[in-house]
Each structure stands twice: as C-alpha cells, then as structure tokens.
Structure 1
C-alpha cells in the first residue's frame, strides 16, 4: 500500500487541510440508515481489504500531519499524556502491539527487528531510528507509552481491568471531541460515559456494554464507529481549548456550511493487551468537509435526513444545535425530500 503523505497541512490556525479522492472514497460514512439513534454498535474487527478496516490500525495520508499536531499540542499541554505508575506493563504491551502491526501491515514505512529483548525500530515517515531493550524504560528517550503514542495515528486510552470494572488509567488524548483526559483519568467505565444522552439513565445498557468489554479476549478485537461534527478541520477540540473553538459554532451559515463544517468519525478499536490484560481503546479520527462528502450524492441525501430528524438531546450532545438550522438548509439542496 503506497501512501502519499500530505505536505504542508495545518490543523490549527490556518487550517490547510485536504482529502485526496482516495481518502474521500474510503471515508467511513457512519450512517447505514436515514435516521440515527445512539447505540453501542460494536462488531468484530474483521479485516475488509481496501477499506479503513483492512488492518487493526489504519494509517493514511494525514499521518505525518497528525503526529506533528500531537507534538505541538503536547508542548502546550503535557497533561494530554497521562500514565499511572501501575500501567507500565500495559504500556510495553501497547508498544509491542503497535510496532508489530505497523511493521507487518506497512513494511514500506515501519520496520522492527527483534533479537531477543534487543529491538530495533525504524519509523521512516517520522525519521525515527531507535534501538532499545524491550522492558527497560531507561533505553528509550521517554516512557514507552509516550514514545509509541507519539507515533500512533489516533488517540489512545488503556483501560485497567480490576474489580469487575474498567478504569481509564493511561491515555494520549490530543484530538478529543469535547472531552478531557485530565478530567476523566482514573474514572470507571460508567463515570466517563455519564454525559451520553439516552444512556446516562439506562443502567442496563451500561451494564451490558461493560460486561461485553470485560470479556474481550486476546487476539479477538472489536470495533465501533462514533461521529460528531467539527467547525474547521480542527483535530483538538478538547474541553481545555474550548475558548479557541467554541465560538466558531456561531459562525456557520447556510452559505459557508460546506467548507466550514466537517463530519468527524471515530473508528474505536478495542483489542486486549497481553500479558497485562488491560484493554486498549484507540480512537482513530477521520475528518471530511461537507463539500467533499457531498460529492457522493447518496451520502449527501442521507446526511440531510439524519441531521434534520436527529433527536434534540443527541443534537445537543453532538454540539450541532447552534448551527443545525443553517446546516439543514445547506444540505437540503442534495435531497428531493426536503420535508
């Protein structure tokens, strides 16, 4: 698989960001029907060649851009990376999983040579060449979790499993959809999902989802898609930076919605780490402008109907209520059924 990494992209301030035709075609459009209701929608992570589901961890043309953005965000706010002391084994498990999958799935860009515990890792897109002893933190330039997370496309949390629950005890979150790792770190599964509408008061849904996640086995990962919308192609829409992007919601009109608004889709991957038995929760975010998305007539029509008929609590939770009216007006041009 040949990847043409986009040069000179910027996901803040100037917003120089674009999707190639290939990226548009493989975008994970998240709506199988003309209406949407929040659901768990978990499925086995079975490979689908030629799609973003081909490999466990998808790499695309925005890889270098997003890694550069991660570095800038960490410079401004180091607390976007949190690792509790008891998560060291899980951190090494995560490092091994990423290196092994990246080198196997994208050998043109990543190489891993293992001679016992002596490992040699090469990341060509980021110009990283690192020899180290697996399990010896002193042989890496930083904590193993941060080292590999700075090279992993997508946000990541590692959930410690204990006392019949999951706890967010490690994370690298530089591109969240209006939440904060610093706030959620250490929380249990139910605690960090409490704001989700129509689930917050349905403990049965939480109980079933948690029971399912607790029973995910090594080598049998699951995945799901989640979505929201973002004004401008801004990856970092964290709670901490709301003062930078929150006002942008009021700038959307029926005239500029096509280039200002971006559908934001998260591919959430959940494999079990061994030997720590922690659960990895990776969040690979895809952005597409509505102008690009609506080059697909079927997507344009369906998105109009989904947004038009979205229940108000979900619209509020997704953060689109403020510009929903001009958005629906703009999308209506692609749908013969405008009522």
Structure 2
C-alpha cells in the first residue's frame, strides 16, 4: 500500500513531515509575480501564521545569533527608520503571540508592555516608543527572535527604499550592499525583467498594499548543500560547492530553495515590512512526488540561460537535469501547484 501524503506536505526518508510551501516554478513563463493575500491557509501549514515558526526555531535563532555576533552589520537600520522599527516590533509581537500563544505572549497596559518568549527564555518589560527600555534597537531585539530575514522598506518619491533589515540567510545577496537602494536599483541584476516591465508593474502594486491587508508570494532558486546563509559575504564558504556536484551525490546535495515572502503595510510610518522565510528540500525527497520531479526537471531543462546564470545554477544544472530526467516520462502534467499524489514513490 502506498504511504499517505497529507497535502500539501512532503515526507522525507525517515517519514518526518516537512513543513514545505510546495509551489514549484511554472514551466510556461520566465517570470511571475504570483502574489496573493497573506491570509491563513488551510492548504499549507507554513502559510497559516503571519510569520511561520516551526520545529527549526531554536536552531535557526542560534544560527542567526552566531552570524550577528560574527558580523553585526548583518543588521542595519538607517536613522529615519525609527518609527518603522516600532511599527515592526508591534506587528511581530502581536502576530507571534496570537499565532503561537504557547510560545509567546504580549501583555499591554497602555504604553507599558511585557514580552515573553518562552523558547528563548526572554521576559522583557518596556515602554512602547521609548528606546531606553532596550539595550539594542527595537527592530534588532525582535527580528533576532524570528525565523527568516526581515527587511523594512521606506516608501517615498513613488518608490520603495531598502532602509533597514536583518539578513542572515540571503540567497547570494548582501544587505550591506543593498541598504539605501531603491526598488529598481536592488533588482537591477535580474535579467530581462526590466525590459519586460516586470518590476514597473510589481512596484505599482506594492505601493498600494494596505494596512491589515498583507500579501505574500513565493520565490525559488537552488542551493548546493543545506546552507541557509548563502550571502555574498560568505561566498568563499558556500560558493565552491557548486562546482563539485556529481551524478552520484546530486540527490542529497542539491536542494530546491523556496522563499515565502510576505509584505505588511506598517500603520504609522507607512513603510512596508518584508519577511523572507527560506525552506530547503533535497532532490532525494522531491523525486518521491511524481508531479514535482517531472515539473522541476522541465523547469531546469528549459530555463532561460540568463536566468540560470543569475540564479547561480550553471555549474550544476546539467547534472541535476540528467538526474531528474530518469524520473520524467514526458506525461502531461496538470496545471497548478497541487501534487496530484495518493502516496509517495
């Protein structure tokens, strides 16, 4: 009897449920904005909360703390983002306390607040809006207690500016390089998208995101070995891995990397909070779902060369395609992201 597959989760080789937001890149177009309202979704567990917190919480928070200790400039906040910091702190604390009350709680008595994080043993009382209640920036205080990267985008002059953030798990980019850049400037390296008008349309949409109406989208790339921190700063650590993948080890070393990105309008500063939660899944688990392995094979096989280079796939894309080709018999696939599986292979 085939193993049951509870949609939309994957199951790895030791039968542990992986909380993976499974939408794969469609193979019929080069770019998709794929934005939807960021409301609780019964289909995907990782999308049920404003900020996903899961069984990897302690590991990822410890990794974030280590990276920040080694390189404090992984968290940068421009001076004019003071109000946005407090907006974000309120959003994060109220969301985490509402979505995970067994781990987090927030007590508010007027301006006197008490934040409790049971997972990290934090019990902190402060006055909202008063920086004297913290030994660090309010944004840094709460962002280091969250999984994923957090960026604050100031809105002015009809565009968005990356003016604050804590980024310890970037997919080959650097906050230190991008901080202070406008929306079109930090997206400048993306091939063909500007000529196609992709970012013009995306910016017009994002400028109209409303308070209490957050949106989300998915982005994808691939990573060799399960590195969350593939930042430009650490390229000498993870970059050489891309030239060492073989057909014998590709199933375990090459990972699909999916980013669940959410954007929240902040009420006082009118800035946008941009969260990036990253999930990794090795090919060995992907090939257990017939539609996913065929879809991924076709996407990588037919990927525009410019996009392959931009995503850093060139050194191992062909060996990955060769591995996946054995699992794709050319059968037409249903549209959409559902797995269409009754069990695992």
- How high is the TM-score relative to the length of structure 1? 0.90
1:295-314 aligned at under 5 Å gives the runs 295-314=288-307
Partner of 1:61: 55
* Structure-2 separation of matches of 1:132 and 1:21: 44
After superposition, the C-alpha distances for 1:150-170 in whole angstroms (9 at most, x for unaligned) are 011110110011111111000
| Native 8 Å contact 1:93 1:274 kept in 2 | yes
**Please, which moves more after superposition, 227-236 or 290-299?**
290-299
- Helix, strand or coil: the match of 1:335? coil
| Native 8 Å contact 2:264 2:272 kept in 1 | yes
After superposition, the C-alpha distances for 1:316-336 in whole angstroms (9 at most, x for unaligned) are 111111111111111122212
1:154-173 aligned at under 5 Å gives the runs 154-173=148-167
* Structure-1 separation of matches of 2:258 and 2:159: 27
Paired residue for 2:243, among 244, 247, 250?
Answer: 250
- Helix, strand or coil: the match of 1:182? helix
1:143-292 aligned at under 5 Å gives the runs 143-202=137-196, 204-292=197-285
| Native 8 Å contact 1:30 1:227 kept in 2 | no
Partner of 2:308: 315
* Structure-2 separation of matches of 1:21 and 1:197: 39
* Structure-2 separation of matches of 1:286 and 1:264: 6
Unaligned runs of 5+ in 2: 1-11, 332-345
1:51-90 aligned at under 5 Å gives the runs 51=44, 52-90=46-84
> Residue 212 of structure 1: CA displacement?
1.0
| Native 8 Å contact 1:91 1:145 kept in 2 | yes
- How high is the TM-score relative to the length of structure 2? 0.89
Task: Flag the 1:21–1:153 CA change in 2: closer, same or farther, 3 A.
Answer: farther
**Please, which moves more after superposition, 47-56 or 65-74?**
47-56
Task: Flag the 1:21–1:110 CA change in 2: closer, same or farther, 3 A.
Answer: farther
> Residue 32 of structure 1: CA displacement?
6.2
After superposition, the C-alpha distances for 1:74-108 in whole angstroms (9 at most, x for unaligned) are 11111110001111110011011011010001111
Partner of 2:319: 326
* Structure-1 separation of matches of 2:171 and 2:213: 27
Partner of 1:128: 122
- Helix, strand or coil: the match of 1:120? strand
Unaligned runs of 5+ in 1: 1-17
Partner of 2:334: none
* Structure-1 separation of matches of 2:310 and 2:146: 28
| Native 8 Å contact 1:36 1:306 kept in 2 | no
* Structure-1 separation of matches of 2:122 and 2:30: 43
CA-atom RMSD in angstroms? 1.7
> Residue 50 of structure 1: CA displacement?
5.2
| Native 8 Å contact 1:267 1:284 kept in 2 | yes
| Native 8 Å contact 1:30 1:226 kept in 2 | no
> Residue 64 of structure 1: CA displacement?
1.1
User: Is 1:46 matched up with 2:46?
Assistant: no
| Native 8 Å contact 1:307 1:324 kept in 2 | yes
